[in-house]
Chain A
Amino acid sequence: MNDIPLSYSLALSAILFAIGVAGVVVRRNAIVLFMCVELMLNAVNLAFVALSPYAGVQGQVFVFFVIAVAAAEAAVGLAIMIAVFRHRESLDMKNFSLLRW
């Protein structure tokens, strides 16, 4: 448990975060987009957990909260998507460009 170098975990966190960012940029389906956001959250959680031996148990406690909030956010977000789907019959982000110039 104590012989995994910190930098390895942080590197993995970075890689996962980057993949999540790429996914957010590239995917058009709203649900998949949201899943990529969850991936990013996970990457951050990993960073917290990796640092908690050095920063204290607060790291893990914070992860706990993050997971809870992610759950709440997922619920509300998906509810919104359902509501939006009822209007547009589509979840493709390219159809939701009212903020266009």
Chain B
Amino acid sequence: MLLLQEAASAAVHAAGAAEFPPGKPWLGTEFHPVMPWLIVALPLLGFVLNGALSIIAARRALPKLPPVGDPSYDHHDDEPAVAHAAAPAHAYASVGAGDASEPSEQEGHDAGTAPHPVDAAHAHDVHDAHGHDDHAHDAHDDHAPAGPKPFTHLLPSFIAPGVMLAAFGVAVANFLRMKAAAPHAPWVHSYWDWMSVGDLHVGAALQLDQLSILMALVVTGVGALIHVFSVGYMKEDPGYPRYMAYLNLFCFFMLTLVLGASYPVMFVGWEGVGLCSYLLIGFWFKEKANADAGKKAFIVNRIGDFGFLVAMFLLFWNVGALDFVGVNEALEGSILPFAGPVITWIALFFFLGACGKSAQIPLYTWLPDAMAGPTPVSALIHAATMVTAGVYLVARSNVIFGLAPAAALVVAIVGALTALFAASIGLKQWDIKKVLAYSTVSQLGFMFAAVGMGAYASGIFHLMTHAFFKACLFLGSGAVIHAMHHALHSTHKPADAQDMRNMGGLRKYLPITFVTMAVSTLAIAGVPPFAGFFSKDEIVGAAWHGAAGGSPLSEFVFAGIPGSRWMLAIGVVLSIAAFMTAFYMGRMMLYTFFGANRTGDEERKHLHERDWTLKLPLIVLGLLAVVGGLVNVEENVPLVKSFNFFHQGEALHRWLDPVVEPGVRAAAEHARHIPPVDPEWWPIALAVAIGLGGLALAWVLLSRKPLGDAATEPAYQGGVEKALYNKWYVDEAYDAAVVKPVQGLSRGFARFDMGVLDWLVDMFGRLSQMFGVAFGRLQTGQLNTYAFVLVVGVLIVLGSFVAL
């Protein structure tokens, strides 16, 4: 597959070279974007409005207290719900009395409405038996008070998705314009001068080129769908306007990240999405585990941010520019030697940043914990957008990675290892969201393997298709959890709504969810003609291509092993990971939707799907998971042209070529002659076999054994299963190797501070005290002493005159 891409781009080059000088970006027709700043500004507006609404809601939720201490205040005029100042709070406190998993009690409840009688008698033992995922609870919709919703909870339903849809519209308009104009240079506009210090000039600038507009489309499109889903999912939550505000803020930062024209502007978005991830993961922060998950995400991300910053410093120090256009020009002008230490370190530090943000080894541990947030958050942030920022960074810095083959190989190797490692953990998880989380880490590993091997467009392609099917999977799981929660809640059964052992046979009760999730599972498993097949096959194909010597990296020797060997290993590892992916996704579908239902007889009566806001995004994303891959199919596949919007094969590669080409060329210039490799049929066959085989194996192995529910079915049997279930004990290892020493060091410093420094300061005080006591002894009260001192004083004074 990839060869044909190479051939196609060579043809394009040949065609273009006749007219324009090669190696320099040339302009097509003029590209005039239509208010691109709106794409970024609209979500910000949504954040401001929703934020104001959430503040208003929170203020209204405060219990109205009568003036304290005023005896003349007539208490009879108080509203009955307010007369006992603690009453509303008390009523809701009893709803979750001592319940740590009722986090949003205090906000958004209108103190004027009477508490729901069912809620007041509501026992909280539903949340007691949580198993190992007691922090992963979602909407507590049954706990909202009855009565008409105040405007603070109605307006966000329109503001937030509306803003995102408007932003998507603007992005589409710009995309169409760009498609018509077909520019070959990025459009950059600086709106104001942000930092001008010495030689450093960074403007608040947006860059519109093929890559950024594609990312903007993905972010706004998938984001808009997830906003719509969130409306149905979270509208009963007391913190609903705050949630929508954070979601909009996240989209604003993400769009800043993808549309930024320089590394600092990108970094603003980078940090901002980290912040919003923290805010949204810990959305139900009153439960400690959720807050801890948010902290963990932010802190691990921060380690990556350090890498990003160091890379920026190195880049500015050695290259002198920080905007993408300037950096690309300087690097293409050979300001830094090929494969030199500087460029390699820059690339590696950027990759460290990407590891933190995109959850690669060793900084992936936050992503499974991040499932503590609401499911739409997991879908948006941890499937479709934020975690892909690392891939976008590497793709955007393709020139840097092209000039640093060692770093590129490191990226590919780490990506492949992560893909395998995470897939292995996903084999034995019982929480449906955890399975998807590890699947995300694994698929991100695929993307990094792709961009590491130089197949930037393939990586972005997989990013796009992954956004579709993973978001669909997450939203589907959200619908499942929603229904399970509702069912378990209605009978107050203390079971975990997210545990697959409690599910089973849900396809009868949640048909649309089942269909869309099934389609997405086929996509992720790599079954043609669904989206994931094309993108994943391209990546693994790039590995085989490189193993056969067809990549600029094939000749490069890294750690004593030639690149082709590495890429062969990567290909094998990715294939195993793909097989595992198919297996555990099949397992997930099996346990959730097939077989006998283990929820319980009473609860089953309450299993049903929700309204259109939950179904529509699933349907749209499912459709995209089906057809999304067709955007990049090769030429020779029949009928593709008629189905393809672009009316040409390999449309995505062609689309991204102007952005990606400098990096590819930089790598190719320094490689020896790349022999053309004949296309082979066996990679495609292998990919199909892996996909179908994994699903089939899951069916064969697991559908026969009856499964008990969470209370009866053990989580694991045997040593390997235990290790897989416990995530290979990586968190424990980090705890022992990093956290405990840091804590010990902190304790040591604290002891030093209290013992030594405080002792010093206290000593000064005590010294003056001792002096005071000592000198105070002079005041004996005895006349004789005073007379003596008087005489001595006189002697001293007069004696000094005489002596002098």
Contacts and interface: CB of A to CB of B under 8 A. Distances in A.
A72 interface: no
A93 B777 CA distance: 17
A88 to B, nearest CB: 14
A93 B783 CA distance: 7
A100 B779 contact: yes
B714 interface: no
B782 A101 contact: no
Nearest to A94: B782
Contacts of A21: 787, 791
B246 to A, nearest CB: 65
Interface in A79-101: 93-94, 96-101
A25 interface: yes
Please tell me the size bucket of the interface on A. Answer: 10 to 19
B781 interface: yes
B781 A96 contact: yes
Contacts, number: 37
A27 B782 CA distance: 11
A34 B785 CA distance: 15
B781 A99 contact: yes
A25 B788 contact: yes
Interface residues of B, number: 13
Nearest to A18: B791
B779 A101 contact: yes
Interface in B115-131: none
A93 B782 CA distance: 7
Contacts of A99: 779, 781
Nearest to B784: A25
A21 B792 CA distance: 11
B787 A24 contact: yes
A3 B783 CA distance: 41
Contacts of A33: 783-784
Contacts of B787: 21, 24-25
A26 interface: yes
A58 B784 CA distance: 33
Interface string B745-781: 0000000000000000000000000000000111111
A33 B787 CA distance: 11
B302 to A, nearest CB: 59
A26 B715 CA distance: 95
A4 to B, nearest CB: 26
B590 to A, nearest CB: 89
Interface of B: 776-785, 787-788, 791
28 contacts: A21-B787, A21-B791, A24-B784, A24-B787, A25-B784, A25-B785, A25-B787, A25-B788, A25-B791, A27-B784, A28-B784, A33-B784, A93-B782, A93-B783, A93-B784, A94-B782, A96-B781, A96-B783, A98-B781, A99-B779, A99-B781, A100-B779, A100-B780, A100-B781, A101-B776, A101-B777, A101-B778, A101-B779
Given A93-B783, A96-B783, 4 more contacts: A21-B791, A24-B788, A25-B791, A33-B784
